[in-house]
């Protein structure tokens, strides 16, 4: 599998920043104050697993003009210096008494004096990644500062991927597809589910994934009941329906899709559920084109699912955005009127409930092109595969 280049050239970050600054001017924002991993990476390319340590906060300020300014722990300075960012302000963290707050106060005081508006992400699917007490203390020291929710601004940027981002997502989707293609040779009656998970993680790494941060699934006679649990040590048994759902990564970008198999034999209900979901996915693929809304996409899939179940197993939505995070805006749900545009990368994830609390989920990854959906995953077989 030929790999796209790792990282991005500087013009990618310059273009992202320029687009943000255009929207900031539209919204009257003098800056963006960002604390979360995908946003720091989006504007700088700063990529590290060190975010898994909750100890240290990391900050980025995107001014109305010019490059972003990084306010980060000293331990990250060497890595940040390899990015396009020039203005890197550091402190020796952790320092509970002053974990970057003085540096932020120095930076933001001129904006507070002017009574400027600064954008902070406060909306759906966001969190503030710094201690809430520190945030409150920072703002109480900057009484003139106006805080505006910048979620929609960031969302509108990040939802549409560049060609370079799409190449990375396509690459990890290909690795995921190659991994799932090996599962019939790995899974067998008698293999404990947790051992299968371990083997699938190893296979994904062998296929070229950098990491497999997300691997969930289930197996049970005639179907599974839960799609978010860790694997049990129960051995696979004839008549089980097995599902594996993976979020593997390559260069910081995710795939997120699943596959279903029957072990030894499949009953008619499971075959029918699979067929309904396969056709619901097909309806989603047909509907996903520029100017369609996520709500339309939801209804296109839901109308097929309704042949068998009107509740969709109550997982809340039938797919979502995909990129630097396992799940991103938008949501294919009745509440989401986001209009699809070219170069959005999406999952189509129809699900349904059947029998005695069983659930089945299908998932493919696509990119929206001018002419319609382009599959990034190798399409699942149209009939429930038996292994």
Residues 184-223 that bind a second copy (CB under 8 A): 194, 197-198, 201-202, 205-206, 210-216
Residues 101-130 that bind a second copy (CB under 8 A): 120-130
CA angle 174, 176, 177 (to 5 degrees): 65
Continuous segment of H or E residues that includes residue 361 = strand 358-361
Q: Does 228 bind a second copy (CB under 8 A)?
A: yes
Closest approach, Cβ 372 to a second copy, in A, equals 26
Q: How far is CA 248 from CA 38, 149, 211, in A?
A: 16, 31, 6
Distance CA 297, CA 352 (A): 16
Q: Which is nearer to a second copy, 52 or 140 (CB)?
A: 52
3-state secondary structure 314-357: HCCCCCEECCCCCCEEEECCCCCCCECCCCEEEEECCEEEECCC
Does residue 375 belong to the site contacting a second copy (CB under 8 A)?
no
Q: Please return the burial class of 104, using the count of CB atoms within 10 Å of its CB with bins 0-12, 13-18 and 19+.
A: buried
Binding residue (CB under 8 A) for a second copy from 230, 237, 238, 382: 230
Nearest CA among 338, 327, 351, 298 for reference residue 214 = 327
Binding residues for a second copy restricted to 36-75, rule: CB under 8 A: 47-50, 52-56, 73-75
Q: Which of 229, 303, 310, 342 binds a second copy (CB under 8 A)?
A: 229
CA distance 122 to 136: 14
The minimum distance between CB 78 and a second copy, in angstroms, equals 4
**Residue 369 pairs with which residues in a beta bridge?**
372
Task: Figure out which of the listed residues 4, 12, 19, 79 binds a second copy, where binding follows CB under 8 A.
Answer: 79
Q: Which is nearer to a second copy, 212 or 289 (CB)?
A: 212
Smallest gap from Cβ 232 to a second copy, in A, equals 9
Cβ distance to a second copy smaller for residue 126 or 377: 126
* 14 near a second copy (CB under 8 A): no
Q: Rg of the chain over CA atoms, in angstroms? A: 23
Beta carbon nearer to a second copy, 21 or 248? 248
Contact set for a second copy, span 316-335 (CB under 8 A): 316-317, 320, 325-327, 331, 333, 335
Report in angstroms how near the CB of residue 54 gets to a second copy at its nearest: 5
């Amino acid at each position: 599998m030929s790999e796209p280049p790792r990282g991005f050239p500087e013009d990618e970050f310059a273009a992202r920043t320029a687009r943000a600054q255009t929207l900031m001017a539209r919204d009257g924002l003098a800056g963006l104050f960002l604390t979360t991993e995908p946003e720091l990476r989006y504007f700088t390319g700063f990529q590290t697993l060190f975010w898994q340590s909750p100890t240290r906060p990391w900050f980025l300020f995107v001014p109305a003009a010019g490059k972003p300014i990084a306010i980060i722990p000293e331990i990250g300075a060497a890595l940040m210096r390899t990015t396009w960012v020039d203005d890197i302000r550091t402190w020796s963290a952790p320092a509970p008494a002053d974990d970057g707050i003085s540096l932020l106060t120095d930076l933001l005081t001129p904006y507070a004096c002017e009574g400027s508006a600064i954008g902070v992400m406060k909306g759906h699917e966001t969190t503030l990644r710094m201690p809430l007490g520190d945030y409150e203390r920072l703002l109480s020291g900057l009484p003139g500062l106006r805080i505006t929710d910048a979620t929609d601004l960031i969302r509108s940027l990040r939802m549409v991927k560049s060609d370079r981002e799409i190449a990375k997502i396509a690459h990890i989707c290909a690795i995921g597809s190659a991994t799932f293609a090996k599962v019939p040779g790995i899974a067998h009656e008698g293999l404990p589910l947790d051992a299968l998970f371990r083997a699938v993680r190893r296979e994904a790494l062998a296929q070229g994934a950098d990491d497999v941060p997300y691997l969930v699934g289930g197996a049970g006679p005639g179907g599974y009941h839960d799609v978010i649990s860790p694997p049990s040590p129960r051995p696979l048994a004839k008549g089980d329906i097995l599902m594996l759902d993976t979020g593997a990564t390559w260069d910081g970008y995710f795939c997120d899709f699943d596959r279903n198999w029957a072990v030894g034999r499949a009953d008619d209900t499971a075959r029918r559920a699979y067929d309904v979901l396969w056709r619901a996915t097909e309806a989603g693929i047909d509907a996903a084109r520029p100017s369609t809304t996520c709500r339309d996409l939801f209804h296109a899939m839901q109308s097929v699912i309704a042949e068998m179940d009107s509740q969709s197993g109550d997982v809340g939505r039938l797919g979502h955005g995909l990129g630097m995070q396992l799940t991103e805006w938008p949501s294919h749900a009745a509440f989401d009127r986001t209009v699809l545009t070219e170069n959005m990368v999406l999952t189509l994830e129809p699900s349904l409930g059947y029998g005695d609390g069983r659930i089945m989920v299908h998932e493919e990854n696509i990119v929206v092109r001018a002419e319609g959906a382009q599959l990034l995953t190798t399409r699942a077989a149209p009939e429930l595969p038996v292994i």
